[in-house]
Amino acid sequence: MRRIAVYPGSFDPLTRGHLDIIQRASRIFDHVIVGVSNNASKKHVFSVSERIEMVEEAIRGLPNVDVDTFSGLLVDYVKRKKARVLIRGLRVVSDMDYEFQLASFNRRLNKEVETVFLMPDDQHTYLASSMVREVARLGAATDQFVTPFVARRLKLKFRAK
């Protein structure tokens, strides 16, 4: 039986911390699906197609990782993909309360879905997409936080505004 995991998120934008989690998950699971959320109630800097493109660029070379988009209930998406594991990144202790609530809620919705928490490398512990967006919006370089492709996209996005 193949071990399929889903790593969901908005990835607005994809950071080196996200990529670290994807790489770690790809070594543990047979197949990893990076699920880019399509939540119309959230205001994103990048469109779904732009976020997918950034993830696709970053996961080249990881043959057991794919990117997809989803909307609606995450546990329903996981079931449709025949996955049984949700990957969640834990950066700092303050993430734990929210993530544990989410994992508990998801377990109540579907007892067959397990949540696995992965910690990124120490250098990415305090890295958040919101901070990267703010730094980019203010015109600072983002190369240390994101891949070169994402850094170029951020520069173009905020130069246009």
Catalytic residues: 18, 42, 91, 129
Could you give the CA distance from residue 25 to residue 88 in angstroms, rounded to a whole number? 10
CB 50, CB 79: distance < 8 Å: no
CA 145 → CA 1, 8, 62, 75, 88, distances in Å? 36, 19, 20, 30, 19
Could you give the CA distance from residue 158 to residue 6 in angstroms, rounded to a whole number? 30
